[in-house]
Amino acid sequence: MLVGIVALVAASLTTASTASAAASLPCDIYGAAGTACVAAHSTTRALYGTYNGPLYQVQRARDGAKTDIGLLAVGGYANAAAQDSFCAGTTCLITEIYDQSPRHNDLTIEGPGGAGGQDTGVPADALPVTAGGHQVYGASFSGRMGYRDNTTTGVAKNGQPEGMYMITSGTHVNGACCFDYGNAETNNQDTGNGHMDALNFGTECWFQPCHGAGPWVQADLENGLFQSSAGGSQNTANTGITAPFVTALLKNNGQNFFALKDGNAQSGGLRTTYSGPEPTAAGYSPMHQEGAIVLGTGGDNSNGSIGSFFEGVMTAGLPTDAADNAVQANVVSVGYGGPTGSTGTLNPGSEISVRATTACCTSDYLRHRNNNTVITPVSSTLDKSDATWIVRKGLADASCVSFESRNYPGDFLRHFDFQVYRQPMDGSAAFRADATFCPVAGKNGQGSSFRSYNYSGKYLRHYNNTVYIADTSGAHAWDAAGSYNDDVSWVIAQPWAP
C-alpha cells in the first residue's frame, strides 16, 4: 500500500514543548490500587520505578548473536545506544520482549496457529521515537509478525477479572485481523467464544454499526471484535482515534461487565467508549479465558494486521477508574514523540524542515499528504506537522540518512517506481535501500542534494509540486534537464513543528 505522497507546501513556525517522566510508574500505580501487574512489557521504558532488568532481546542478522537491551537507569528508559552499537553494520530483529513483573511472562516469537503460519520478530530499528527526552525504539508490526507466551502464571482464567492497556499508534493501522495485546488461548487455536480477552486496535469493523473510519479500541473476546455487548458500537461519538500515540484500555470482570477506553497518549485524559454488560451471545458471560498472552496477532495467530507497540500491562483484578486515570497521566508525562533535543542539521536525531531553492518555490517545504488533492500555499497546523522530519541514520547505510515523519512515527520517506512516498518501515532490504539518501553539496551551490542510495545517479527532486528521484536523462517528465540543479538542491531549516 502506497501512502503519503510527498509534495511541497508553505508553512509558518511553531515552538517546542518538553515533558518528563513521573516517579510512580504504571505498575506501581496499579499495585497500590490492589490490582498488581501480572505482565508488563515495553521496548521503551521501565514500568516499575524499581525495575532495572532487560526490556527486550535482539538478534543480529550477520552472525545470529543475541543481546539484551536494558535501561539507562533504574526505573528509566531503554538504552537504545546499546542496540545501535550491537546492530551496527547489519540488521536486528526483536526476538523476545521481557515481562518486568515478578511473573516473568516473557513474550517470544509466535509459532504457527489455526489461522497463520510461523511469525517473525519485528525489525529492531523500524520505529525510532523520543520518550522521556531519549531516543528509544517501539515495535513496528508489518503483518506475519507476532509474540506469545502460552505458559504464563497469574494471568486471568475462566472468568477471573483483569485489566490491560497498551500504547500504540493511530497512524499505523489496517483492517486485517488482528492487532491484539492481551489474554488468549494456550494452543494458538480458536477454542470458542469467550476464550480470549484482549485489546484490539485497528480499522476492522467486525459487527455493524461502526461509526466513523476508526481505528477503534475494541475487545477481542474471540469470534468477534466487540465495541459493546451487542457487538457493534452503541456510541455514535466513537469514530475512532487517529493520534500518533494512543492509549488503548480494556477491563473485564469476567462475569457480567467489560469496559473500553481510549486516549491521546501525548495529552489529556481517557474517554470511556463503552461500559456495560458482557456480550449477549453464548459463551461470553461468564468468560472462559485461558491465560496465554499474545501481541500482534489474534488468538489463533490471525496475523494480517499491522500496528505499533510501545508498552502494555495486564493486571490481576479489575482496575479502578482512578488507577486508570493515574496511569494515563503517567503515560502523558513520558512525552512520547516529544522533541529530540536537536534541530536544523543533518545529524541523526535532528528535527528539520526541508526547503526548496528553485526561484519559484523558495518558501515551499517537503511535505507528505495522503491523497491527490491539491496542496495550497496556506499554512495549517497539519501542514507544519507534515513538513517536519527527523533525521535518522540511513536504514541501508549509516553514512547516509533516512527521514522519519514527525507525526507518523515509524514512517519514512521512500521512493517507489521513482515517486517519493511516506510509508511505514517494514524491515525489508528493499525498503531500507529505497528510504536511504546520501547528502552531498547542493548542485546549485545552496544547501544539500540527496542522492538515492540504490539509484546512484538520481537525486530527490521536486517537479510540479511532487517529489521524485530523478536524473537529467529525459526518460520521464521529472527527468527533464531544465532547472534540475535548482530542483534537487534543498536547504535544511529549523523544524516547523518540533
C-alpha cell at 294: 499474545
Task: Find cell 520505529 and name the residue.
Answer: 127
Of residues 244, 239, 242, 208, the one with CA closest to residue 226:
208
Cα(496)–Cα(11) distance, rounded to whole angstroms? Answer: 7
- Cα distance between residue 20 and residue 336, in whole Å: 10
Residue with cell 530523478: 470
In angstroms, the Cα distances linking 255 to 36, 276, 320, 331, 414 are 20, 11, 17, 29, 49
Of 177, 179, 283, 263, residue with least CA distance to 221:
283
What is the C-alpha separation between 175 and 143, in angstroms, rounded? Answer: 11
Q: Decide if 222 is catalytic.
A: yes
Rounded-to-integer distance, Cα 440 and Cα 489, Å: 10
CB 369 within 8 A of CB 375: yes
Cell numbers 461502526 correspond to what residue? Answer: 210
Task: Give the distance from CA 254 to its chain's centroid.
Answer: 30
Residue that has been written with the C-alpha cell 488503548 in this structure: 248
Q: Which residues in 211-238 are b (16+ Cβ under 10 Å) and which e?
A: bbebbbbbbbbbbbbbbbbbbbbeeeeb
Cβ atoms of 494 and 446 within 8 Å: the answer is: no
Angle, alpha carbons 405-407-411 (nearest 5°): 40
Place of cell 532490504: 429
Select which of 185, 222, 311, 411 is catalytic: 222
Q: How far apart are CA 53 and CA 130, in angstroms?
A: 21
Whether residue 110 lies in the annotated active site: no
Q: Please check whether residue 142 is in contact with residue 426, taking contact to mean a CB–CB distance below 8 angstroms.
A: yes
Q: Is 465 left (phi over 0), alpha (psi -120 to 50) or beta?
A: left
* The three cell numbers locating residue 61: 542478522
Question: Given 180, 190, 300, 351, which residue is catalytic?
Answer: 300
Residues marked as catalytic:
222, 300
